[in-house]
Amino acid sequence: MKQQQNMLVKNPLAVMTGLRGSRARAGQVDIRISGGLISEMGRNLAAQPGERVIDASNCVVYPGLINTHHHLAQNLLKAVPAGINQDLQGWLASVPYPRLERFTPALVRIAARLGMAELLLSGATTCADHHYLYHANGTTEMGDQLFDVADEFGMRFVLCRGGALESAHAHPGFSKTALQPESLDQMIGDIERLKARYHQDTPVAMRRVVVAPTTPTFSLPPTLLRELASAARGMGLRLHTHLSETQNYVNFCREKYNCLPVEFVAEHEWLGPDVWFAHMVHLQPGEIRMLAQTGTGISHCPVSNSRLGSGIAPVPQMAEAGVPISIGVDGVASNESGSMMGELHTAWLIHRAAQGAQATVAEDVIHWGSAGGAEVLGLGAVGTLAVGQAADLVIYGLDHPRFFGFHDIALAPVVAGEPVAVRYSIINGCVVVDKGEIPGLDLAKMRSEAHDGVQQLLIELDNAS
């Protein structure tokens, strides 16, 4: 467990707040942190006795980024040759699912440590992980491993408890395994256990549990989809899943249910301010209106969508309509990087490439990556830098030629993109990256564990390729 400290962040070149419009920039203000919260922001603040002073000169400060869709277990599945040129369906069937049974709690732990280290060093302070490696005869210990690793790194963590139920035979990945899906009782039983052990309701929660079947159409029958929504709301938990990632997904829904995916989930009580969906690449205008009217959010994952050739989500149109926008890196088996700043940089660029230079504004992209994430996760006291908010902030160093010559230095991390240099990262008033390093992280050990983990996940498909 990390120790909270009272701190004064002094002399930054610029502070971005995560808010929109004229409130996006706080200027060159110092930030005082006490009891895990931001207690004061202003020019030339004086250090008080007992405060640690953090020198932020030649740095810019952003709110901690909030990654709203990840699959941490995939950190041992980067650039698997059998899936490198596949679309989503081929990739699901050749990369994560053939190895589902191989994933032990120990491997999930190794993978999660890689992912959380990369997230911290790319500006993220909160991670929502969609973990779906469950089957009828498997262990439920994975969720506990993930919470434990989050504790080690001091990261704010939301476990989106995934998995497939009865109709998993329709899932393009699960159906290729010989595994039996869990029963509804097994899934709900584990969610109740996780909730009792970890879940916090407060707007500054460090730990949350979310109900998150892997996909709403392929992974379970519609009746169970509705039952899960009702169970989640009964427990006061939010809902998350994948939606409309590819055109195939939309075609399946049209053919099987005679409606569009957003209409299908609406039919089964899966819209509302307590729901967010990953991807939503393929949407009709009417679906965007339904999302906006119900306050249902998106986790936009532009790198994974590019890598799998899925398309580009209509995020500028969704933002214009009022849909809550957040950003996720998705699993690194379909990204090859779990960098949040890399994801923001791509989000800034990709809509411009498709729709013109007016399509995105850098300040809005920072908002999506911070306050937008807090909104979809229901963490109201996180994601913006203001007095009274949680002290989750990242201080980026700019001591590199690529950051010299800027007219608007405040935007440097998001418009220049990776590699960013996280000098300090503070979560809940605890320093989790200190002078550019994660304290106590043994890189050589991490590399060797990752190498061993990759060996354990090699399968026949790999030898054939």
Applying CB under 5 A, the residues found at the interface with Zn ion are: 330
Nearer to Zn ion, 240 or 351 (CB): 240
* Alpha helices (H) in 282-435, listed in sequence order: 285-294, 302-307, 315-321, 340-355, 362-367, 373-377, 412-416
Q: How far is the CB of 74 from Zn ion (least distance, A)?
A: 9
Q: How far is the CB of 125 from Zn ion (least distance, A)?
A: 20
Q: How far is the CB of 242 from Zn ion (least distance, A)?
A: 5
Identify whether the C-beta of residue 124 lies closer than 8 Å to the C-beta of residue 64.
yes
Sheet containing 7-10: give its strands across: 37-42, 30-34, 7-10, 52-55
d(CA 430, CA 56): 16
> Phi and psi for 417 in degrees, rounded to 5?
70, -165
Structure tokens at 96: 């994560």
Q: How far is the CB of 150 from Zn ion (least distance, A)?
A: 19
Nearer to Zn ion, 129 or 330 (CB): 330
Nearer to Zn ion, 208 or 423 (CB): 208
Per-residue buried b or exposed e for 48-73, using 16+ beta carbons within 10 Å of the residue's own CB: eeebeebebeebbbbbbbbbbbbbbb
Nearer to Zn ion, 30 or 330 (CB): 330
Give 263-290 as a DSSP string: HHHHHTT--STTEEEEE--S--HHHHHH
Give 122-172 as a DSSP string: TTEEEEEEEE----TTS-SHHHHHHHHHHHHHT-EEEEEE----GGGGGST
Nearer to Zn ion, 88 or 194 (CB): 88
Other CB atoms within a 10 A radius of the CB of residue 401 amount to: 6
Nearer to Zn ion, 56 or 301 (CB): 301
DSSP lists the bridge partners of residue 41 as: 31
Q: How far is the CB of 94 from Zn ion (least distance, A)?
A: 16
Nearer to Zn ion, 190 or 330 (CB): 330
d(CA 60, CA 406): 12
Q: How far is the CB of 241 from Zn ion (least distance, A)?
A: 9
Identify whether the C-beta of residue 450 lies closer than 8 Å to the C-beta of residue 67.
no
Nearer to Zn ion, 216 or 397 (CB): 216
Nearer to Zn ion, 144 or 330 (CB): 330
Q: How far is the CB of 408 from Zn ion (least distance, A)?
A: 34
Q: How far is the CB of 211 from Zn ion (least distance, A)?
A: 16
Q: Is the dihedral of CA 267, 272, 275, 279 positive or negative?
A: positive
How many residues are recorded in the chain?
A: 465
Indicate the residue whose CB is closest to Zn ion. Answer: 330
Q: Is the dihedral of CA 95, 96, 102, 108 positive or negative?
A: positive
Q: How far is the CB of 69 from Zn ion (least distance, A)?
A: 6
